[in-house]
Amino acid sequence: MVMISDTFCGELETRLGHHFANSALLNEALTHSSVAEAARPGEDFERLEFLGDRVLGLVVADLLMERFPDDNEGDLSRRLVALVRGEALSKIAKDMDLGRFLILSQGEVDQGGRDHPSILADSLEAVIAALYLDGGL
């Protein structure tokens, strides 16, 4: 598996406000499936993306219920969807320059993968899962 450098890792940890006890989690969260060495399950961010989507949904749903105590389920659901949809996540990832930290194949880099909205959104969900697994809620 390709590993992110300690300097790069430290820079991203500073941006995230979290120092990883298990840096392999962060590395996995940043590794795209296009990387040849990541052909085996668990060596790219797809499984973490799955978990991160659920963690994000839970945390946002909890905050919405607290912030909007009079909203019904339908209103809360609409708010949730707007906040956790791919476009919103991609914008957040772009704002934090997450694409710069991604481990991608050269082919994916050449095709603009560092700025691709779905890759950015998916990798952000993976980073959220890594934060959850390393530090809890």
Enzyme catalytic residues = 53, 125
Number of Cβ within 10 Å of residue 135's Cβ equals 14
The CA-atom distances, in angstroms, between 108 and each of 10, 87, 118, 119 are 24, 20, 13, 10
Buried/exposed code over 30-48 (b: 16+ C-beta within 10 A; e: otherwise)? bbbbbbeebeeeebbbbeb
What's the rounded Cα separation, in Å, for the pair 115 and 4? 18
103 touches 30 (CB < 8 A): yes
Long-range contacts of 72-80 (CB under 8 A, 24+ apart): none
